[in-house]
Amino acid sequence: MASRKRHQRSTRIDMGTYTLTKKGVSRYDWADPYSLAVALTWPEFLCASLGIYLAVNALFALAYMAAPGAVASARPGFSDHFFFSLETLATVGYGEMYPRTFYGHCVAALEITTGVAFTAIITGLIFVRFSRPRAKFVFAEHPVITTHNGVSTLMLRVGNGRAKTLGLAAARISVLVGEISQEGTMFRRTHELKLARSSLPVFPLTWTLMHHIDEHSPLHDMAASAFNAADVRIFVSFEARDPDLATMVHDLKTYAPADVLFGMRYVDIIINDAAGNPTADLTKVSDVEADPQAG
């Protein structure tokens, strides 16, 4: 019965334009609390921490109430025992209420130990969440298929959203294509696209990833209608080394068939001042214009 219930669970993975659903996998894996706590959003994490904190205090308040008279000066009922639990868990102790019996001292000692452990765990999780490196790559909203050096080329522009130059940038582009086998069965195949250049030693401003659509490309002879018919999904994996954090930062971007623009090209967003210093306007990283050689 437990096995059947586990397999009935499902989780949704939001990948921008592509949403994946897995059955038999739960989003909230209580057997791996560390990964669960790190993967939560900040509102979810704060609400969960507050909920656990209040629940622990409520349980200890009930434990004190189980033996009337265990807490000195506490009035009958839940409220005084709950506030005494708050003070004990935080190791504050104002002195007005205190354990009076042996049972009360035992529960208080257990709660103090729990409070120290809870504080250490929450502090560690907050540090991990704050210290986790985050990528600040600016992806163009639309990949384009345009003509470059006389060859049809898939292009995708990426901007460096950090104030400093990144290093050791690397990119990979894959496409998920729906295909029909010789037996007439529909299946999806992943193809990695060969890039004109897949890495850069330094990444100061922008980088336009390019894949030449030749006879060896899985996108060869695909028009816009064919993209939609094959439900072509583009996955871009991008990473670079952040010198400030002394670590690699990663990001993943997905595009649906309707996101790909045919016969368009990116507008040049880098200008040079009088001294020859380049300036990139990342607010225009997605700007496109008609390709005069298209059609």
Instruction: Identify the structural domains of the chain with CATH numbers, from first to last.
Output: 32-131 (1.10.287.70), 137-290 (2.60.40.1400)
| pLDDT-based confidence at residue 10 (cuts at 50, 70, 90) | low
Q: Is the pLDDT of residue 4 over 70?
A: no
One-letter identity of residue 152: S
Sequence-separated contacts (24+) of 4-8 with Cβ below 8 Å: none
> What mean pLDDT value characterizes the chain?
86
Write the pLDDT tens digit of every residue in 81-124. Answer: 999 999 999 888 888 899 999 999 999 999 999 999 999 999 99
Residue 108: closest CA among 55, 60, 72: 60
Write the pLDDT tens digit of every residue in 152-180. Answer: 999 999 999 988 899 999 999 999 987 77
DSSP H helix total and E strand total for the chain: 6, 18
Per the rule left: phi > 0, alpha: psi between -120 and 50, beta: everything else, 288 is: beta
The pTM score is: 0.72
